[in-house]
Every structure is written in C-alpha cells, then in structure tokens.
Structure 1
C-alpha cells in the first residue's frame, strides 16, 4: 500500500519537474522577461493582473518586446509604437487569431465576430464591415441617428436643471440606444425588462472576464463546470442575452422587407438567404445572435467611458472647455447645426477629442492576439499559438512621438498654426486586420455627442468641490471613478 501511495505522489511531482525543466529550456528562445518560477511563472514579479503600470515596469527593464509567463504559458508583450506597428501591421497575417480560452469557447461557442478565428471570422467580419458602411448611408443613416440621440442626451441633461448629477448612466444609455438602432432598427425604453437583461448580460460577462474565477475556469474547466460560482451567473446571463437577440431575429423574419433593409439583422437575413446553397457559408442565426452581442459588448463601454473622460477633462480644465465653445461659436454661431463633416472646420475641438482618447485610453491592454502561424519578428522566433498582447497605452504615451505624453494637452494634435494634424501613432482603435469594426461609428459618436453637449452646457464641479479625480477604475476597461458635475445651460449664462 505504501508503494502505491509513493507512486501516486511521485508521478505528479515528476510531471511538474519535467514541465518546469521544459519551460526553462524553451524560455531561451523567447524574448527576455522576468524569471519564471514553478507554477507561478512570472506572476511573482508582475502581479496577478496585467495593467498599464505593470506593463510599463516590465518593458522598462526588459525592452519593447518581452515575455511574461503565466504558469508555463508564455505571453509576448509588444510595447512602444515601432514594435506594436511591427506586430499589428507588418505581421498582421501572423497575428490574426484571438486566443480562445476554455470559458470563451463555452460562452461564445465559436460564434460571431469577436471570439472566432479562421474562415468564420473572415466571413463574419467582412460582412460586418460592409453592413456598417451601408447603415451609414442615406437620410436616415447612422449620422442622423447619432444626432437624434445626441439631442436626446442634451434634453436628459437639461432636466437636471443645473443641479449636481452623475452623468455615466445617461451616457451609457444613449450609446446602447444607438447600438440598438443599428442592430434592431429601433430604440428600446431604458426601463424595458428584456433590454436591461441584455445589457446586464454584457456587463456581467465584462466583469467576469477580468475576475480570478475566469482564471480558475481556464485552468480547471472540467472541475468548474460542476461547481457553483460567478462563472455560472455569467453563462446564465449570456444565454438570456442570446435568447433576447434570437427573439428579435424571429420578429424580423416575420415582417422583413428584403428590398428595404433597415438594420443589421435585416442585412444579415438577406445574406443568409443568398448563401443557402453555399456549403462553406457561415451565415446562421446563431452567428447573427452572437454578432449582435459582440456589437453591444464592443461598442457600449468603450465609447461611453471615453465620453465620461471627455466631460471630466472639461470640468478639470475649464479654459480648454471655454476655448472649445468659443471656436464653435466663432465658426458657426448659435443657430447652425453641427454635422460630422464640420470637424474639419473645428481643429481645436477635434484635437481635444483626440487628446481625450490618447490621454485616457480606455483599455488596460490591447485585446490579446494569438499567432495563427509561426512568427519571426525583431530577431525572435515565436511559435504558432503563442499569446501576444499589445500595450497600446505605451503607443499613445510614447515620448518619442508625443511632446507632452503625460499631460492632457490638445496641442499634441495641432501644428504651430493651429491646424489639426493626423498622427499615425494614434491607435486607440487598434491596427491591422483586427482593428475595431465600429471605428467609424465611434468617431462620429464622440464628435457629435461632445459638440452637442459643449454647445448646450457649461460643465463645472458642484459647489464646494475643488477637484475631480483623474485616476481610473481598472477592470476590463479603464473608466473614470464615479463623479458628479453640473450642466449649466448656456442659454442662461
């Protein structure tokens, strides 16, 4: 009996030793990084969560391309503009894939756009790009819808009558309403029970994705499937959100006009019909339902957080706020309605919006990639399936390319004559084949919401408050800490 127990204990210990020896042997072929310990990998040096601070600490010591080990799994970190450009643009084909964790496979079932690879991803993304472009056309196109929602948000702010309020929920509701119009063709009431379930499902998945339980699930999927915990809640919310999307698809099928598609679902159903005889087609109701959730997940929190930062900065820098207002008044007066094309006539305002995105990039790290094939880059040989993380914060604060990287300064986007300048180092939407699908919509939202709000109100701190925190809350995104402001109507100033 003693001999059996010795074998039972010796086998796993021997396996761990062999795995660690293999790690040390393969480590020499990867970019440099903190020395990995058994089981812990580099976590003893980095901490439990990758953040802008931890990434900056790593790259300062080990260079712009380095390796962090999570247990015996390597993660390649790309930092600084030149290195990120080399990876995402010059090696775009090799870095096409997303890493699919055990939980991601269980939750998303390899459907949609955000968590798929290969032929499914290519076909779904290509369709998404074309459809988003089509939805932007016409008198009732995307810009018109954004302007309508911006006016609604101005009205919601007006109802506060200059009293202190927290703007985050109103902004988030406005952004989610827009994605609802794009996806379903109409707005939902913010109180709609099923719509709130959809948004709660998206929020729950976002929170769970950066939790310790997500890590546990990916290391012990066979065990976690049978244990209670937040992973069960996240999967339940996901199923409820998918059920909501599928119910909307059913409604569209019942009253669809194939000659006049109005929204994402309409265009998708037409494509499904066209592709019926193609055995390689990936167009299905399951992929459509997941693509809808992907649109909400990718588009709500990111744009909402950026607008919250924009208002926070206007309160923190009242001189910049006043200059934005005066530029709009000087160019257009009080009666002219601003459209997206007008950004070319408002260089300072445009620079302020870009500087918000640069100074407060809303993701702790770029969305991870996985090598779809062997990668040879900057003298290193990276095997297929290796995880790669881009530090886009380092690109947007690279002192080699920005005059005042650590300060909020709209002059980063202006020349000496005050003209707006486009900078290739400005990569808040990523780059390469996996760049943000909704970039054009997000740009329009930020410009139109910001200008409508700044023309209508003067934003300031509530009476008695002297400053507003610029330290972010770090989760899946980096949004501001909850804050209150007063929106004083310009009409009474």
Structure 2
C-alpha cells in the first residue's frame, strides 16, 4: 500500500511530462494488477501463470473449453484457478470433485454470477427467471412455479406421454415424406421436440410449416450459433438468451395481437390458451405477495423462455447425436451386443423393439424396464454426446472448501461435466461409444453414479424427467419405423461436436428406410 501511495505521488509530480507520465502509469497499472490478483488465501487452488490484463485466457481453446480444462487438470489437479481478465474463476474436474461440490455441498455452490446484461434488457435484479437467477427467495419461488407449471400441464402423467407419442408420430410422418431421399434431420427434430414444450406452455402444437413457429426456431438457432467458442463462459448463455429476446421483440412478426401479453415478445403471436391460464395463476400469486414479490411480468417472461429453451435445445441436440451414432455404428441398430464379461446377447435395438413393442403399437414408458439394451444406448448417447460439457456457471453462496482447497464466497465456479462423463477412473472406454457401460454381464441395465448429463444438486436441470421421457419415446419410435443409413457417396460425418451453448453435431444427412 505504501508503494502504491508513493507511485501515486510520483504520478502527480510528473505534471505535463508525458513520457514520464506514461512510464509511471504503466508501472502503476502493472503493480496494481499484480496486487489485485495476488492470492491472499493460503489454500487457494493452483493454476497457470496469469498475464497482466488478459489473465489466463490464452491457456483456453475458445472453441473447446472443456478439453482445455481437462488438459489443465492433468497439470494442476481437479480443482484449479483461472483468471478471465480481472475476474477469478475456479474450474472443477472429475467425478469425485464434482460430486463433492454439487451433491455433498450443494448449497455452497448454488449461487449464480451476476449478469449485468439483464439491466440492459430492462429486467431488474428481481427478474431473472430460473436458469440464471441468483440463489435467493426469488429463485426458490420461480423454480417452484416452473415445476408446478410443468406438473399442472402433464409432466409425470400419462397425458404428457401421449402428447410425446403423438408428436413422435408426426415426426415419423414428416420423415416418411422425404421418400428415402437424403435429408438433414436437424429442423425436423427441433420442430418435434419444441412442440412438446409448446403443448405444455402454450396449450397446443404447431405445424412444421407454420411460418411464425419456424421464425421462432430459427431465431433461437441463430442465437445459439452466432458466437462460437468460450468467450467468457459466465456470459455466453445469457448473451444467447438476450439475442433471442431482443431479435424477437424487435421483429413485427412476433408482436402481440393482444397487447395484454406484450411481456412475452418471443411467443406473443402464437395462440395460447394454457399460457393465459398460466398467466392467471402467476398474477394471482403476484396479487397475494408484497411489493417486492418475484411474481412480476418480467419474471413471467423469463420463466416461460427458460422452459421453452431448456425444453428444446438439449433434447433435440441429443436426438441429433442419436441418429448420427446410428449412422456411425450400424451394428448397434441391427447387430449383436456384448456384455461386459464378453458374452453375446441379443442386444440390437431393432430386435429389442420388435420383441417388446412390435411394429403395430406405439412405445410406452412402461416398456423401458424390458428394454435394457435400448436404455443403455440412450444413456451412452447422452454420455458420449456430452451435450452440455461445462453447463452454466455457478457461484459460491458462502465460504467453503473443496478437495482441501479454500473457495471464498462469491467465486465463479465452472463444473467441467465433460470430465465426469469421460472420467478415465470411472468408465471402461471413456473415449469410445460403448453402450455396455450401462449393462452388466447378463445384459441388464445398470445405473452409473457418474452419469451426470443433467448436472446435479440444487441447480440440476428442472426438465430432466421430461427429457428422459422424450428421449426414450422419440428414439424408440424412430427406430421402430426406420433403419437409418449414410447416403451413398457421402463422406463419413464428423464425430466431434461444435461448441456454442451446447455441444452439437456438425450438419449431416441421413437416409431413412422404412422397416
């Protein structure tokens, strides 16, 4: 501190001597940077050397941050520190460390970093929805409301299963209309999965050629892919959300026909009976609360958009990986499976579907228990596809410890979920597509504790139950009706993904042959 005061006095004495002033300013900035970043905590996690002003960002591959984190963990351990310019970060890798933080010390790591961009969008500190909200009474209220909304509109009930099954039928019909020609399944899958959450939130599904619906999906897709790479993970997801909200709010196609619903610019032009009843419930809760209640129009907008985006992107991306893996591993569609002990058993997906479901009736969730191989394949798609490799950043709610290191309150923490799903200490073949990870020697399905595609703890994905249902019903319906081939003459699709908010497959084409 004395040195800083001395430097400040030297700066003042430089007066109009510009060269001396420049040198003094440089020295002052470098010293201030060093003192600011000096670790005052005796057990703070280690990390790579930080450069002035830019921190350790040169250590990160912006297009594959999860791979960079895994590499850095080999040198600095499973809990290490980084610096993004002036901001300190902690990265947690590996199943044991992630489990300790998210499960055993869930509340300690339950907070979220503050996202200033909300203020620019007109949303206050008390209007953050669910996904990006700070850990507080507001978040608890909104999460309870979101879960009750999903339950009220069918989650966990037979009625929702029937909606998914019906939508799977529409998807299969749309694929049939391709008449065996090569096509990119991206937007057909996106449309089908989006329609499930639309049926919950808006009260109805939309035809795949509905122009307003297509506009919404294209805006969402554009926002997710506008920027690739890491770009400070603490801002990436919320920036993508912001683009959709801003684009759609400024697009006349999405202006409300009834201005009473102007606070839902993303979906205001879409018919919505259940949304209105949802709004009525929200307003009734708002009326009962005090002036600082979290039940306000901005939160209704954010919660609705949280549900829509969370209910669309990850599930549709997983299904796109599913079809890609069926192309790359045709033996899993129609070939024999192998148990961990080496014994063969009838494990091909087509054979299991024909045996349990047949060709005439639609799949049902009760079939899942009798389809261990198909269940294992779906789980391996989620594990190997690694859809959300670094998730959404967390922040420590209070001072805590992790793996013997001190983590102070208010520290941004990134969980490298990819390092859990491909932990070499847990999985037999972590870097191969191997459904037998989820089968015992007798070919029966086994749960794996390190299977965390939905994260864990208080911030686990609130749509996990819905996603599991959709993945099983959509996947089995598609494989029940089609055999998927790589179109003749086309190069083998890339197995590596493209990282934006999620890790998605690069565009590819398939040929669907009716069975």
Alignment RMSD, CA only?
A: 3.1
Give unmatched runs, 5+ long, in structure 1.
219-228, 254-260
Does structure 2 retain, via aligned residues, the 8 Å contact 1:245–1:292?
Answer: no
Give the secondary-structure state (helix, strand or coil) at the position aligned to 1:2.
Answer: coil
Corresponding residue for 1:131?
149
Corresponding residue for 1:435?
460
- Give the one of 382, 385, 389 matched to 2:414: 389
- Please say if 1:120 is aligned against 2:138: yes
Does structure 2 retain, via aligned residues, the 8 Å contact 1:198–1:241?
Answer: no
Greater helix share, 1 or 2? 1
Corresponding residue for 1:412?
437
Give unmatched runs, 5+ long, in structure 2.
1-14, 264-271, 335-347
From the superposition, tell whether residues 245 and 289 of structure 1 become closer, same or farther in structure 2 (CA, over 3 Å): farther
- Give the one of 20, 28, 31 matched to 1:17: 31
From the superposition, tell whether residues 328 and 482 of structure 1 become closer, same or farther in structure 2 (CA, over 3 Å): same
Q: CA deviation at 1:154?
A: 0.2
From the superposition, tell whether residues 102 and 197 of structure 1 become closer, same or farther in structure 2 (CA, over 3 Å): farther
Q: CA deviation at 1:29?
A: 4.3
- Give the one of 499, 502, 510 matched to 1:474: 499
From the superposition, tell whether residues 358 and 301 of structure 1 become closer, same or farther in structure 2 (CA, over 3 Å): same
Q: CA deviation at 1:314?
A: 0.9
1:283-334 superposed Cα distances (whole Å, 9 cap, x missing partner): 1222111111112222222111110110111111111101101011112322
Distance in 1, matches of 2:252 and 2:407, equals 37
Q: What TM-score do you get using the length of structure 1 for normalisation?
A: 0.87
Corresponding residue for 2:380?
355
1:465-484 superposed Cα distances (whole Å, 9 cap, x missing partner): 36332111122211111111
From the superposition, tell whether residues 317 and 42 of structure 1 become closer, same or farther in structure 2 (CA, over 3 Å): same
Q: CA deviation at 1:17?
A: 2.0
Q: CA deviation at 1:282?
A: 1.6
Corresponding residue for 1:171?
189
Q: CA deviation at 1:27?
A: 7.3
Map 1:184-333 → 2, pairs under 5 A: 184-208=202-226, 236-237=246-247, 239-240=249-250, 244=254, 250=260, 263=274, 266-279=277-290, 281-322=293-334, 323-333=348-358
Corresponding residue for 1:58?
72
Aligned length: 472
Q: What TM-score do you get using the length of structure 2 for normalisation?
A: 0.84
1:379-411 superposed Cα distances (whole Å, 9 cap, x missing partner): 222121111001111111112221211111111
Distance in 2, matches of 1:10 and 1:196, equals 58
- Give the one of 13, 38, 44 matched to 1:30: 44
Corresponding residue for 2:362?
337
